[in-house]
Structure 1
């Protein structure tokens, strides 16, 4: 049988004996006080969870990074938060994600999205480098100027590295278009 999804509040009731669980659920201790039919449905749902196992529905708040499983996109919940089944997000393509299609984003997904947004602000794809961009190693602050770019390698000053080495060891200090120390000729 498939695990039942329950709320965090309903999970608290799972420590009770089935008799106490039914009693407390009927009296609205672990859920909103709706109609008698709604309370009955809630009791049945939690009892199924008690018997078949359960999964706690994720709780989201403003500022959380979430991953939409249908759109395969990562976004941050914005100040509009959500109403019921929708979470309002700061996505360039979508205003909101459906709750059922969303989960908390992993740290790797968040880092990748932040990187994508950083490069996108400068009209670039992630790690699209151009001659004149200035990078620094993550371990020190010595500037490295991009002097040559091809499909597999990037030359920084006189050092030629693979794209993956540059991505792993460096970060962007300044894009060529934003440099004030060179003329735009």
Structure 2
């Protein structure tokens, strides 16, 4: 098969591809979000570096071993938008040494246009806010300032 005078693919290869199928090797670049599957340990990370021979990558974060470990392309796949969002959220909360939606008494939160501190917790996992008579679920709130970073309570 010719295009602009250049051979793109021979007819036999095209027929095999149409009837048998074919695989396209994924292309990976630095800063791509990937899911690593290393012997059953699975996590989402970003590519920090590609080896000089372009057969493996180093990732920016690994929960199981130090970040000096490299992974061959066969152990990677591109992360979905949902996996990327979940990992970004996990990393954001990890900056404060917390799990996702792990609020503490004294945290400043926002609830729409309202900003308050968390005063107490209920046994069902909901929160009570300063000056408000209702309880709230973690997914209804947004952390503005963790209690550890507050300058008005030290």
Spell out structure 1 runs of 4+ moving beyond 4 A. Answer: none
1:155 matched residue in structure 2: 128
Q: 1:132 aligns with which of 87, 106, 109?
A: 106
Name structure 1 gaps, 5 residues minimum.
1-11, 22-45
Give distance in 2, aligned partners of 1:55 and 1:91.
Answer: 29
Q: Counterparts of 1:79-118 in structure 2 under 5 Å?
A: 80-82=49-51, 83-92=53-62, 93=65, 94=67, 95-118=69-92
TM value normalised by structure 2 = 0.75
Give distance in 2, aligned partners of 1:121 and 1:49.
Answer: 48
Secondary structure in 2 aligned to 1:152? coil
2:44 matched residue in structure 1: 74
Give distance in 2, aligned partners of 1:48 and 1:86.
Answer: 29
Give distance in 1, aligned partners of 2:22 and 2:126.
Answer: 50
**Larger-gyration structure (1/2):** 1
Q: Is residue 134–residue 174 contact of structure 1 (8 Å, CA) maintained in 2? A: yes
Two-structure CA RMSD over aligned residues (Å): 2.5
TM value normalised by structure 1 = 0.64
Aligned residues: 138
Name structure 2 gaps, 5 residues minimum.
1-6
